[in-house]
Amino acid sequence: MLHVQRTFRDNSQKGLSTIVMGISTALLYLVTSCETPKDVWDTLRSHFERDTPVILEEKVLPERNESKYIDGSTFEGDERNNR
């Protein structure tokens, strides 16, 4: 049993080291308090994950031949507007 615990701890430390070594130094502050690889992974995922699902352009702008700015106006000289 002691051997299994030691192996798990060693593998966990290797996993933690591998993940942390792949993180930019500018982002290390996010994971300094994490103790396990899962904690690091979950912290990074929650930091980079979007709060809302990505909506495809076809669903937002169903009219494929018209490009619009956010305010609803169209692009001047856009080739797609001339179809």
Rounded to 5 degrees, what are φ and ψ at 55? Answer: -100, 125
pLDDT over 50 (residue 23): yes
What pLDDT shows up at residue 81? 46
Q: How many domains does the chain have?
A: 1
What pLDDT shows up at residue 43? 92
35 vs 72: CA distance, rounded Å? 49
Rounded to 5 degrees, what are φ and ψ at 68? Answer: -130, 150
- Residue pair 72/57 in contact by the 8 Å Cβ criterion: no
Q: Which domain holds residue 78?
A: 2-82
Task: Name, in order, each residue with C-beta under 8 angstroms of 20's C-beta and a sequence gap of 6 or more.
Answer: 28, 31, 40
pLDDT tens digits for range 36-63: 999 999 999 988 887 655 554 545 545 5
